[in-house]
Amino acid sequence: MKNSLPKLRAALLFLLALLLPALRVAAQVATTEEPEMADALRQNGKIYVVVAVIAVVLAGLLFFLISLDRKLTRLEKEVQE
């Protein structure tokens, strides 16, 4: 657990590196009339609300999974003794 902070930082940097290309979407403009895409949703920025909500839900579920994993590890140690 002592060296978990640099690992967390590395993970965050990795996430950031993966996410940076998404910034390109800010420069994306509708060039063609058809087929129809959700351009309005992107232009008024509401898409970020959806993305944020989904990300929070997913993060919550994954956090639950991580804590479940830790609990299991503890239990396994207990049973071993």
Partner 1 sequence: MSKNWWKALSVVLLLYVAVAGLLMPVPRLAILNESIRNLYFHVPMWFGMTFILIASVYYSVRYLRTPTPELDILAHESARTGILMGVVGLATGSIWAKYTWGAWWTNDPKLNGAAIAMLIYGAYLVLRSSFTDEQQRARISAIYNIFAFATAMPLFYILPRLTDSLHPGAGGNPAFAKYDLDSDMRMVFYPAVIGWTLLAFWLAQLASRVSLLKQKVYEKQLA
Q: What binding mask, one character per residue, do residues 22-61 give for partner 1 by CB under 8 A, x or -?
A: x-xx--x---x-xxxxx--------x--xx--xx--xx--
> CB of residue 27 vs partner 1: minimum separation in angstroms?
10
Contact residues for 39 (Cβ-Cβ < 8 A; gap 6+): 30
Token couple for 17: 């590196």
Choose which of 43, 64, 66, 67 interacts with partner 1 (CB under 8 A): 66
Token couple for 34: 């058809």
Distance CA 29, CA 57 (A): 29
Residue 45 Rama label (left phi>0; alpha psi -120 to 50; beta): left
Residues that bind partner 1 (CB under 8 A): 1, 3-4, 7, 11, 14-15, 18-19, 21-22, 24-25, 28, 32, 34-38, 47, 50-51, 54-55, 58-59, 62, 65-66, 68-69, 72, 75-76, 79
